[in-house]
Amino acid sequence: MMLDGQASMEARCAEEGPGPGNFRAELEDPLQRPKTQQQPISQARRWCSGWRRCAVLGTLALLAGASVGTWLLVLYLRPAALQPTLGTLEDGEMTLSCSEASGEEALRPSLPRTVSFRIKPENFLLEVQVRPRLDWLLVCYEGWSSALGLRICQRLGHLSLTHHKGAYLSDIKLSNSQEFAQLSSEQGGLPKEVWWPRDSCISGRIVSLKCSECGARPLASRIVGGQAVAPGRWPWQASVALGSRHTCGGSVLAPHWVVTAAHCMHSFRLSRLSSWRVHAGLVSHSAIRLHQGAMVEKIIPHPLYSAQNHDYDVALLQLRTPLNFSDTVGAVCLPAEDQEFPRGSQCRVSGWGHTDPSHTAHTSDTLQDTVVPLLSTKHCNSSCIYSGALTPRMLCAGYLDGRADACQGDSGGPLVCPDGDIWRLVGVVSWGHGCGGPNRPGIYAKVAEFLDWILNTAQVH
């Protein structure tokens, strides 16, 4: 689906390089992209030390020229029937005036998961769908373990397991057609393709599972082109401060864990750990003086983070004291395993960054948010936008005609997308060229690419 106004902008794209760029941290850092190394042209005397060598080179050049001429003649005389024919564009498609980035992977068809899970919100009963069947089966308690419960919660986008038990079938009103599934015991309790349909459960119990709460907005009722938000609208929004100064945004994953951008911490890597504070539940920065904030115990940047091209631009902050969850402080959900949000998804970015790209002296005192649609990575890598600068660990969101965007001071903050009644952290504000300019949408670290690292890091620490 093409957004209004984008088609004309794409058609007018000029074939130009991406130009200088910047992080979206409070402190502007130029985008340092490796420059193309041009080899100097050697002079003829370096190649031809004598007339014999020159004669040999001349003969080789004549042979090469003859070969190229023969090849061109064959192409010219080839029958028209052997020439490839150009297909016509289907309705709704369009050509671009800028070339697509080389090396872009072809779109692969997504295969449906063999096993899917869900939790019934009214009674927390776990259900499993085993393809090719389409019905949802309640899970027998036989073979169940807390380790399996944690793994399923993480697959569903939660950081941890809160509670699990075996609920007695006699206490639950079920339809006569309800069927069940049991985990095969010889597979070590892993949630793979080892679920077997059953007419009943031998133990008379089924699994009740509660995962850590996330993605809800109990009090839900700008960034460039954005608007001020009410308290509790984005309860996972955090301000990462160095002393009393807001430096970057962050997203609360759990009482002890906040995710932000690696370049935020890299820019101030010489600062003392004790100087960092995380503030959550705030809308106005003027209220920070009334809150002590949470001290940071550990800063864990992704081990593959590159300051040159912003790749792997995520970091985890482990807090010394846990955040107190409330109506205004809560966790955001991670993407579920294998979950994809399509191009055009209407997502939200929030932060305290600059609200006017022409006035970069101060950040906003009030939390701002705005809608930004997800854009195709393939198109954002085209020559008229970012010329192949996006890696598979990045995603692109915003408008090709400008309008709204993240800006300096928003780095590390959340890009969230709705999934039913909950919100999932799809991106972390990373970098861009300017703020809200034409053909310069925002670039975000793609959270789905870091799920294993986030979950493993949180468990290890």
Q: How many domains does the chain have?
A: 2
Residue that is last in its domain, among 211, 246, 268? 211
Q: Running DSSP on this structure, what letter comes out for residue 81? A: G
- Give the model confidence (pLDDT) of 178-196 as tens digits: 999 998 765 555 545 578 8
The predicted structure's pLDDT at residue 322 = 94
Structure tokens, 153: 């919660």
Neighbours of 191 (CB within 10 A): 17
Asked if 305 and 338 sit in the same domain, the reply is yes
Query: In this structure, are residues 436 and 403 in contact, taking their beta carbons and an 8 Å threshold?
Result: yes
Residue that is last in its domain, among 183, 211, 239? 211
Asked if 245 and 180 sit in the same domain, the reply is no
Query: Which residues form the catalytic set?
Result: 263, 313, 411
Asked if 312 and 453 sit in the same domain, the reply is yes
Domain harbouring 408, CATH code: 2.40.10.10
Task: Please name which of 384, 372, 379 lies closest in space to residue 442, comparing C-alpha atoms.
Answer: 372
The predicted structure's pLDDT at residue 27 = 43
Q: Is 77 exposed, middle or buried (0-12, 13-18, 19+ CB in 10 A)?
A: exposed
Asked if 198 and 256 sit in the same domain, the reply is no
User: Among 46-50, 356-360, 368-372, which stretch is predicted with the lowest mean pLDDT?
Assistant: 46-50
Model pTM above 0.95: no
Give the Cα separation of 108 and 100 in Å (integer). 17
Residue 276: domain span = 227-460
The predicted structure's pLDDT at residue 175 = 86
Asked if 330 and 200 sit in the same domain, the reply is no
Looking at the domain assignment, is residue 195 inside a domain?
Answer: yes
Asked if 400 and 449 sit in the same domain, the reply is yes
User: Among 9-13, 236-240, 368-372, 386-390, which stretch is predicted with the lowest mean pLDDT?
Assistant: 9-13
Asked if 401 and 271 sit in the same domain, the reply is yes
Asked if 237 and 370 sit in the same domain, the reply is yes
Looking at the domain assignment, is residue 72 inside a domain?
Answer: no
The partner residues of 140 in beta bridges, in order of sequence, read: 206
The type of residue at 57 is L
Looking at the domain assignment, is residue 14 inside a domain?
Answer: no
Asked if 239 and 207 sit in the same domain, the reply is no
Asked if 263 and 360 sit in the same domain, the reply is yes
What does pLDDT average to over the chain?
77
Domain harbouring 122, CATH code: 3.10.250.10
The predicted structure's pLDDT at residue 460 = 85
Asked if 312 and 409 sit in the same domain, the reply is yes
Asked if 183 and 269 sit in the same domain, the reply is no
Q: Measured between alpha carbons, how far is residue 276 from residues 27, 254, 295 in Å?
A: 16, 18, 6
